[in-house]
Structure 1
Amino acid sequence: MDALDILTDLENVVPLFQPIFNAEEHKIIGYEILGRYVSEKEELSLGSFFQDEMIPEEYRIEVENVVFSKAMEVASCSGEQDLLWFVNREAGLLMMDDGEGFLQSILSFQGKGIRPENIVLEISDRHVQNHIEHLINYYKSYGIKIAVGKVGSESSYLNRIAGIEPDILKIDMSSLRSNNSGPAYLDVLHSLSILARKIGAAILFENIETPYQLQFAWKNGGRFYQGFYLKKPQTDLLEKDILKEKLKAEIHGFILSEKKRLQSYYDLRVELNSKFQDLINRNKKGHSSNELLKALGESMDGIAFRMYICDEDGFQLSPNLYKTDDEWIIQPKYENKNWSWRPYFLENIIRMRSGKKGILSDRYSDIETGEVIRTFSLPLNDKEFLFVDLSASYLHKREGLF
């Protein structure tokens, strides 16, 4: 539809409200405001209109202001004082007047019960610009919250995201439609949740369309949830508790599944610790590091594919014992290499020394084989530590651990 047709028919430009649910109480805590053009002939999303750089800026700003004003009229009549209103804005349009137009629009509704603290300004990370920090800080001084959206699909501005210190990161779940997604992609999404925690931002997972996506959002630190699986955009506001019982039941199922997985994890750790302690006690005396590894390898068929021994500083004291085809081989080239640069390596050394027991790593992709594995490590004494890389096939057999 032509932009001028919309500009000359602003009466039919209306807001829709897509509810956002929280993890703590399973209730609606706010709405994202979306623009629609609704006439007798058609109903159009205005998303492409707002993003079309061929349309003059003043046209887009005018329509944005109409959508926002109509939405705030609905909000002010709702009687709800604690709801959050998520408003999408392009950084370039905001900065045309140094952000004053948008700010004054917000302040004009204070007399009707809408406080700046109720507004969440959402900026897509592809629109984050070098000089926007001063504008963000200006808005924050009024209590306006900041969200950076579309992080899961376009995450090339992480330094700038950290620079503006958003209150909320919106992670896009569009590409995660089933549990067939590759482990590398899942790990990227998980790393974004770690980024959010590091910079003190809450996580909002958007575009949730399946139960699997909701479970992933819950498992990866999502505080807020949004998407068609929960509720589609509405012309009216909904009861806050409309999905409370449904979400409570679904999340209870997630909790049971995660507890079962964690129990499998701890059971495996105890089992491996007992098995290796017994093997080491039977083979340690009078054996060199190489002889000890070979003796252990004879009992590790189908369980491990690589073993080696390091000192407390991460220097490898032994060669690798590596399983290839049907035999264990010695790989001397790894001897004397240092692994202290690996994440958590030294922390795990201290954990093993203090606890006097083995530990099981999280899941990761092995650099050499490309397989998703875990490493079991345990102290041989105060200065020597055994590392055992468990095979992917073995982990596949352990429910929930691959």
Structure 2
Amino acid sequence: MDPLDVLMNKEKVIPYFQPIISADKQEVVGYEVLARIMTSQGVKSLGWFFHDESIPYEYQEEIEDHIQTLALEYYINHDLEQFLCLNINIQSLLKDDGERLFTKLRAYESKGLFFEKIVLEIQESDYVENYNNIKHLLVYIQNTGVRISIGGIDNATTNLERMAVLKPSIVKVNVGFIEGDAFPELYRDVLHSLSSLTRKLGATLLFEKIDTYQKLNFAWKNGGRYYQGYYLSVPKAEFIEADFCKHSIRKEFHHFINYERKKIESQLSLTETVGLRLKATLKAVKSYGDFDAAVLSIAKALTDLTFRVYICDHDGFQQSSNAVKTENGDWTLEKESRSKNWSWRPYFLENIVRMNYEKKGLLSDLYTDIEKDEMIRTYSYPIGEQLFLFIDIPYSYLYEKDGLL
């Protein structure tokens, strides 16, 4: 469809509303306004119209204004508790410091519109390019009660520092680009940082483009409070019942919780198993005076569940060589690893303090081992005065045990 066809048929351009579902209530808490056009082949999305940089900005602004007006009229007439999310072009705001938009909103305020129920969504790529110009404008907008949502986050280039300054109410994470069940580990790391940031800011993490059960599970596991996508509901020309998916969401959550509960039980079981076997093995270790001899002895006794064993002190300095399993199953010492420091690793010092305090071993989260380039876990255990044993457990062993991956 030609852009001019859209302008010439503006009366056929209508708003559709995509529900935003809350994890805590399992209900619709808001609606995002999307542009659609009625054609002889049915209703079509106008997403392309707003994302095509070759289309004059004035064309996009005219259709954006038209959609906003229809959506606000419909919203006011239904007196909803849910919020309304409007997609905003940054250039439209910067052009007149948002005056045109707020003139419209104030007109509806006299009809009962609450600014606190309006969310303006901007794209991360847009505010990055116009950051210095827009940050003060967004602060002004937020002071009126209107909330800001930042969307388009779908990779590892997210600038968390700039986002922290803008203090959005909602941060939207796009999982639509993820193929099948493959969730890149780098993406998980970005989400971990993003989840921590939104929690500190008091913002809400919203996962969009959820079109499969796996992606809903991914959103749930990664701190998503709000969900949006075709798996939950397609956009519609009218608002739907707030609790339309309560039963199905609760059923999904039940499956998620049961699975995670089994994983936790498996991890506790592994922690206990390794701990018991290690205690029995340590009884045979007469002295830790020769650290290399000690790690070799321990490694051979636990050869079925580890590929590397070493000892560190409480400052993270490695006191032993690495006892490493070779391809044929024998054990050898990597002496060059002695005296390396591991205190820089995330959670290292926290785990050292916990082991000192609790006097028991700890099982790490899954992480990628740099040398083997595979997912592993590490079991750590206090073995003496300011000495700690580290046992690296390979992917192959974890794969055989339910709930450890």
Structure-1 residue corresponding to 2:86: 87
Structure-2 residue corresponding to 1:130: 131
Do residues 395 (structure 1) and 398 (structure 2) align? Answer: yes
Letter in 2 for 1:273: G
> C-alpha distance in 2, partners of 1:333/1:198?
41
Letter in 2 for 1:106: L
1:123-146 Cα offsets, whole Å, 9 max, x none, are: 111111222110110110011111
Comparing 4-13 with 292-301, greater Cα deviation is found at: 4-13
> C-alpha distance in 2, partners of 1:78/1:177?
38
Q: By how many angstroms is 1:186 displaced?
A: 4.1
Structure-2 residue corresponding to 1:10: 10
Structure-2 residue corresponding to 1:33: 33
Q: Contact 1:31/1:85 (CA < 8 Å) preserved in 2?
A: yes
Structure-1 residue corresponding to 2:338: 335
Q: By how many angstroms is 1:284 displaced?
A: 3.8
The secondary structure found in structure 2 opposite 1:282 is: coil
1:268-303 Cα offsets, whole Å, 9 max, x none, are: 112212221221133143752111111101112121
The secondary structure found in structure 1 opposite 2:116 is: helix
Do residues 316 (structure 1) and 315 (structure 2) align? Answer: no
Aligned length: 401
Letter in 1 for 2:131: N
Q: By how many angstroms is 1:74 displaced?
A: 1.1
The secondary structure found in structure 2 opposite 1:76 is: helix
Shift in CA distance, 250/117, structure 1 to aligned 2, threshold 3 Å: same
Superposed CA RMSD: 1.8
1:84-136 Cα offsets, whole Å, 9 max, x none, are: 11111122221111121222222221122221111111111111122211011
Which of 381, 384, 387 is 1:384 aligned to? 387
Do residues 251 (structure 1) and 253 (structure 2) align? Answer: yes
Which of 155, 158, 163 is 1:161 aligned to? 163
Do residues 51 (structure 1) and 28 (structure 2) align? Answer: no
> C-alpha distance in 2, partners of 1:15/1:68?
8
Q: By how many angstroms is 1:57 displaced?
A: 2.4
The secondary structure found in structure 2 opposite 1:148 is: strand
1:297-308 to 2 correspondence within 5 Å?
297-308=299-310
1:1-400 to 2 correspondence within 5 Å?
1-40=1-40, 43-80=43-80, 82-128=81-127, 129-131=130-132, 132-153=134-155, 155-285=157-287, 288-325=290-327, 326-400=329-403
TM-score normalised by length of structure 1: 0.95
Comparing 85-94 with 157-166, greater Cα deviation is found at: 157-166
> C-alpha distance in 1, partners of 2:102/2:333?
68
Q: Contact 1:309/1:384 (CA < 8 Å) preserved in 2?
A: yes
1:20-44 Cα offsets, whole Å, 9 max, x none, are: 1100111100111001121445533
Comparing 136-145 with 195-204, greater Cα deviation is found at: 195-204
Q: Contact 1:310/1:384 (CA < 8 Å) preserved in 2?
A: yes
The secondary structure found in structure 1 opposite 2:301 is: coil
Q: Contact 2:375/2:395 (CA < 8 Å) preserved in 1?
A: yes
Shift in CA distance, 83/237, structure 1 to aligned 2, threshold 3 Å: same
Q: Contact 2:160/2:194 (CA < 8 Å) preserved in 1?
A: no
> C-alpha distance in 2, partners of 1:369/1:186?
20
1:160-203 Cα offsets, whole Å, 9 max, x none, are: 22221211111111123432444444444444333433443211
The secondary structure found in structure 2 opposite 1:138 is: helix
Q: Contact 2:150/2:168 (CA < 8 Å) preserved in 1?
A: yes
Q: Contact 1:312/1:385 (CA < 8 Å) preserved in 2?
A: yes
Q: Contact 2:287/2:294 (CA < 8 Å) preserved in 1?
A: no
> C-alpha distance in 1, partners of 2:225/2:156?
21
Q: By how many angstroms is 1:401 displaced?
A: 1.0
Q: By how many angstroms is 1:9 displaced?
A: 2.7
The secondary structure found in structure 1 opposite 2:404 is: coil
Shift in CA distance, 100/155, structure 1 to aligned 2, threshold 3 Å: farther
Shift in CA distance, 112/39, structure 1 to aligned 2, threshold 3 Å: farther
1:293-329 Cα offsets, whole Å, 9 max, x none, are: 1110111212111111111111111111111112111
The secondary structure found in structure 1 opposite 2:153 is: coil
Letter in 2 for 1:151: I
> C-alpha distance in 2, partners of 1:77/1:130?
36
The runs of 5 or more residues in structure 1 that have no matched partner are none
Q: By how many angstroms is 1:53 displaced?
A: 2.9
> C-alpha distance in 1, partners of 2:347/2:202?
22
The secondary structure found in structure 2 opposite 1:380 is: strand
1:192-244 Cα offsets, whole Å, 9 max, x none, are: 33343344321111011111111111111110010001100000000001111
Letter in 1 for 2:153: V
> C-alpha distance in 2, partners of 1:320/1:31?
56
Letter in 2 for 1:385: F
Letter in 2 for 1:54: S
Comparing 174-183 with 270-279, greater Cα deviation is found at: 174-183
> C-alpha distance in 2, partners of 1:45/1:169?
23
